[in-house]
Amino acid sequence: MALKLYEKLKHAVRYWLLRNLPACQQTVETISQSMERRLTFGESIKLKLHLWICVWCQWYMEHLHIIRDASRGQANKAPDVVTSATLSDDARERIRRRLTNQN
């Protein structure tokens, strides 16, 4: 009985928050900002509460960090993985000529 009441109350709180907090479209903008600057206290509380009730925005935030970490991580590693392109023979020859003229 007490458990049922607790569930009901939790549901009501979540619903109220969902209707009264900034919606997802605004929240994803805040998530992006959080990667650029320190959020204000108010922004940060609203974001935390929103994330508590919205798994979609939780994933959104997780994905932005995955993209950032993967991009920066590979940037410091061998670039063979990110592209199969190589210097064309023409370009190689052109650069070789330019360099030997300089010597």
For the chain, helix (H) and strand (E) counts, in that order, are: 5, 0
Question: How many whole angstroms separate alpha carbon 66 and alpha carbon 60?
Answer: 10
The tokens of 20 are what?
A: 């009264």
- Footprint on residues 54-83 left by other proteins (CB under 8 A): 56-57, 59-60, 62-64, 66-75, 77-83
- State the sign of the Cα–Cα–Cα–Cα dihedral 89, 92, 95, 99: negative
Q: Does 7 bind other proteins (CB under 8 A)?
A: no
Contacts with other proteins in 16-55 (CB under 8 A)?
18-19, 22-26, 28-29, 32-33, 35-37
Residues near other proteins (CB under 8 A) are 18-19, 22-26, 28-29, 32-33, 35-37, 56-57, 59-60, 62-64, 66-75, 77-88, 91-92, 94-96, 98-100, 102-103
